[in-house]
Homo-oligomer: A and B are copies of this chain.
Amino acid sequence: MAKRERGPRERMVMSAAELIRRDGVSATGVRDVVEHAGAPRGSVQHYFPGGKVQLVNEAVAWVGSYTARRIVRYVEALERPTPGALFTEMTDKWAAELTATGFAGGCTIAAATVDWADSTESTRTAAAAAFAAWTRPLADALTGMGVPETRSEDLATLMLSTLEGALLIARAERDVRALTSAARELAPMLDGAVP
């Protein structure tokens, strides 16, 4: 997964994101990140003079933009572009990932929010930016599918909220049930929003 091309710096950011989404922010130590990335330990103070806070924030930002690009790709790949189909696509992808990894890891942004939203303002801001970066392409896609512009952003937020919540419940239950049943009910409702 981690190409040789990537420098130690980017590898550390990716490893941080991976470990955070699995164990949470507080439980993820910088030594763990270094080891997981196969990076030299001395690099942490060289590349991240801001310490763990900087590392975590960059991980959050990285996941934010990476996932935003993924959303765009989902939209483009839809053969029958409707809001419900898009939502089903997202829940399906997550369900597949959860089962493939044995439910070992949820959303990095959710973990960062739960763990550090109160204590570290910069991390909370980064998480909010990530959510905003996902809402925008989602709302644009909905508008492109014929959803009235006044409702596009609300519906995008609804999709995101439901996805995040279902992901959380699925992880607790070690069962994709929450994802599939949320999609089964919400998808037709979303399609009803396009006149």
Contact = CB atoms under 8 A, between A and B. Distances in A.
Interface of A: 22-27, 103-106, 109-111, 113-119, 124, 127-128, 130-132, 151, 153-155, 157-158, 160-169, 171-174, 177-178, 181-182, 184-186, 189, 192-193
Contact of A189 (B116, B117, B119, B192): B192
B114 A24 contact: yes
Contact of A161 (B23, B25, B166, B174): B166
Copy total for this chain: 2
25 contacts: A23-B118, A24-B25, A24-B26, A24-B116, A27-B119, A104-B118, A106-B113, A106-B117, A113-B171, A113-B172, A117-B171, A117-B172, A128-B174, A151-B185, A154-B181, A157-B169, A157-B177, A157-B178, A158-B181, A158-B186, A160-B178, A163-B165, A165-B165, A186-B189, A192-B192
Given A157-B182, A165-B168, A174-B124, A114 B111 contact: yes
Main secondary structure of the interface of A (DSSP, over half): helix
Contacts of A155: 185
B26 A131 contact: no
A157 B169 CA distance: 9
